[in-house]
Structure 1
Amino acid sequence: MKHYFKNYFRNFDYGLLFVYILLMLFGLVMIYSASIWVSIVHFEKDPDHYYKRQLLNICMAFCLFLVAVVFPYKRFADKKILGILFAIMIFLEVALILVGNEVNGARSWIDFGVMNFQPSEFAKLFIIIYFSGTFYRKSIHKGSMQLLSFEDVTPPLGIWLFIVLVVGFETDLGALGIIVCIAMSVVIASGVKGKTLQKIFGLLSALGVIGAIGILIFKWDTVFNSSRRGRITSYLDPFSDPLDTGYHVINGYYAIGAGGLEGRGLGQSIQKLGYVPEPQTDFIMAIIAEELGIVGVSIVIFGLGFIVMRGLYVAMKTKDPLARMLAAGISTWIGIQTFINLGGLSGLIPLTGVTLPFISYGGTSILLLSVAMGILINVSTHYKLEKRK
């Protein structure tokens, strides 16, 4: 055991660890700066209210990260582990249906007293682990991933459909898009034959269309409420209604444009003073751009880009199918969520309310992303050990 840990930490992926810690601490500083006005004026709290809460979130998240780093990732193919995760997922989805709270037009939160928990965040990690573990277990019995049949992969797809429908009925469209992309990335990384892959994507497309139709039929008024219609209008032409639907988007542009190369200076943002919504979550990159300029934005983009590219590199190079699927799923999660957040902020896509990984304020997000990072570093370290052998 001593020899194992010596080799493990000798080959540890310290680059990913450094970037993970850097992004969390950078995000913590920016949350403090961005949330002062909101804390005092909107909620009549201390100026460091969000800072203290996020600091506690980070401490808990880092403990979970350490567990994920040393936990043998091969155990994610264990039937008992998968069963426990499945039971937790079902419990959260049922609880959401029965007692979920609506925030910003989406019924996506459960109040556990000590914290508000967002099941869709757990669903992202669950899909990665459950798909990867289940496919890997079946491949062991078959002898190879390429021998998996369409029938072998349909049970996980049924569970995926249930989660998609629940998240869809929450009308959390940003999370829904991420969950769909994660499932697709894990299936592609699994290494199943092309014909099987075509059948899977055909089924996913058919189920997606049926689910979308069902959501539109039963949730039309919620999906296309005034807030969401305003997001579409502001995406198409925010300057057509600058005092209403386009107000926040335009002020986000002002924040980005005002930063320039070096920014106004830390804490000197003007747009966080009530001009942009949720400056500590959805619009935190706009505040970073305004206060720290291109330098601050580059730290975030290059940091997140490094994590995504490193994860995809490991997924392409490792010979272990389970490691490949886990790395591909986690990289896709972080990459797609980053794109949706920054795309909405810059006007490439409509705003969806998705947070920026490791940077935005949020307990559920940082806890589960930290677990995902622990798994990714675990997989990357074992890839290094595999390569040395």
Structure 2
Amino acid sequence: MKKYFATYFRNFDYPLFITYILLCLFGLVMIYSSSMMVAIMELRPPDYYYAKQLTNLKFAAVAFLFGAFFPYKHYSNKMILVMMMIVMAILLFWVTFFGVGKAETGSQSWISLFGLMNFQPSEYAKLFVILYLAGSLYKKGLKENAIQNVQPNDIIYPISIWLLILFSVGMETDLGAVAIIGVIAMSILIFSGIRGKTLGKFAAVFGIFGTIIIGAVLIIKDDILNASRMGRFLVLKNPFEYADGSGYQIVNGYLAIGAGGLEGRGLGQSIQKLGYLPHPETDFIMAIIAEELGIFGVTIVIAGLAFIVLRGLYIAMTTKDPLARMIAGGIAVWIGFQAFLNLSGLSGIFPLTGVTLPFISYGGTSILILSLAMGILINISMYYKFDKRKQS
């Protein structure tokens, strides 16, 4: 054990770890700044959301340590895959029949854990899809002695699990999570090393069945394309035409960004957080960062996220282990695509989806699962560096 830890820390990815810590701490500061007025208007202490996120980070630290020290190769173990699937099934069943949040957010996406906290299964589903698809493809590749030869009918069971998750999350009307889970699945296939023609078959299977599932969700949940959600598409052309309705949040986000300019108003000096932007500590926290810290604050966040994404992609493209490649690539694409959805929604390029800005926005489940994913990525990086040293 002593030798393992000595080897581990000698190959530990300190730049990746430091970037993760700095983003979490920066996010904590900005949550405090952006949520003070929200908490006061709710007749709560000014540091209410800050204190809750601080508690969330303590749990996230435990999840990170587990991911960092648990060898990633075990995620291809059949027993572990079955255990993860059982947890996923329980969470999806629970949120489908006993989920909360419909009245507040329009999505029945949370599970109330004995009134102590809310857990969002769709966040776990993102990491589960990465680990389950990667582990299943890897096991099949080992059995056949070449992952390149895996065919769609060889892993029909994992594909069916993915479709079931997509359907269940769609029934929650969490459209942002549906998009992320779909992109994650395709990224795993791309990083798997499957031959081009076979990859095309997989893409066709995923596309056809994914479209059928989404169509079924739209038919069953006829309130998904309601006036509020349709309004998110209408505002893309000119949100100022809908400033009193569906464009309200985007317009006030623009005002915050414009007021910040290059230098910003100063930490804690935002005007838009004073009741103009609803719950700015969640998906619109970047608007407050831009208003208070200007281009400097925005650059810190984007540079930090870009480093994590590029580091994950570099590991995925240079490692010789297919399992490491799929998991590292899946995590990198997940973080990058979720950040893109958040920032493009804020800027009016893409419809608002309500997804959090990774490591920055307020949200217990988000920071918990992302921290676990970062621990796994660092574990992969450690093995990657160890293998490189052995070969040199």
TM-score (norm: length of structure 2):
0.97
**Offset of 1:59 from its aligned partner?**
0.8
Provide the secondary structure at the position in 1 that maps to 2:50.
helix
Say yes or no: does 1:358 pair with 2:359. Answer: yes
Q: Which residue is 1:63 aligned to?
A: 62
- State the shift of 1:19 in Å: 0.3
Corresponding residue number in structure 2 for 1:279: 280
Q: Does 1:27 align with 2:27?
A: yes
Aligned to 1:80: 79
Offset at residue 212 of structure 1 (A): 2.2
Q: Quote the residue 1:134 is aligned against.
A: 136
> Deviation of residue 104 (structure 1)?
1.0
1:143-222 to structure 2, matched below 5 A, reads: 143-220=145-222, 222=223
Counterpart of 1:368 in structure 2 is: 369
Could you tell me which amino acid in structure 1 is paired with residue 128 of structure 2?
Answer: F
Residues of 2 paired with 1:217 and 1:158: CA distance? 20
Say which SS state the counterpart of residue 223 (structure 1) adopts: coil
Deviation sequence 1:333-388 (CA, Å, 0-9, x none): 10000000000000110111110000000000000000000000110111111111
For 2:171 and 2:226, how far apart are their aligned partners in 1? 14
Letter in 2 for 1:342: L
Cα-to-partner distance string for 1:286-317 (whole Å, 9 max, x where unaligned) = 00000000000000000000000000000000
Query: Is residue 253–residue 346 contact of structure 1 (8 Å, CA) maintained in 2?
Result: yes
CA distance in 2, matches of 1:270, 1:111: 33
Alignment-mate amino acid for residue 209 of structure 1: T
Aligned pairs for 1:97-136 within 5 A: 97-101=96-100, 102=102, 103-113=104-114, 114-136=116-138
- The Cα of 1:213 is off from its aligned counterpart by 1.7
Equivalenced residues, count: 387
Structure 2 distance, partners of 1:191, 1:10, is 30
Give the superposition deviation at 1:214.
1.2
Q: In 2, are the aligned partners of 1:124 and 1:182 still within 8 Å (CA)?
A: yes
Fraction of identical pairs, as percent: 57
- Per the normalisation by structure 1, the TM-score is 0.98
SS of structure 2 residue aligned to 1:271: coil
Q: CA deviation at 1:278?
A: 1.8
Q: CA-atom RMSD, angstroms?
A: 1.0
Q: Counterpart of 1:161 in 2: which secondary structure? A: helix
The gaps in structure 1 that reach 5 residues or longer are none
What amino acid sits opposite 1:100 in the alignment?
G
Report the Cα distance in structure 2 between the residues aligned to 1:22 and 1:235, rounded to whole angstroms: 33
SS in 2 for 1:108: coil
Deviation of the 1:230 alpha carbon: 2.3
Aligned to 1:223: 224
Matched residues in 1 for 2:77 and 2:35: separation? 43
Cα deviation 1:87-141 (Å, max 9, x = unaligned): 0000011111110112411111111122111110000000001011111111111
Unaligned stretches of 5+ in structure 2? none
Deviates more, 1:200-209 or 1:318-327: 200-209
**Structure 1 stretch 296-305 or stretch 243-252: which is displaced more?**
243-252
What's 1:5 paired with? 5
Contact 1:235 1:351 (C-alpha < 8 Å) held by counterparts: no
Mapped partners of 1:116, 1:150: distance in 2: 37
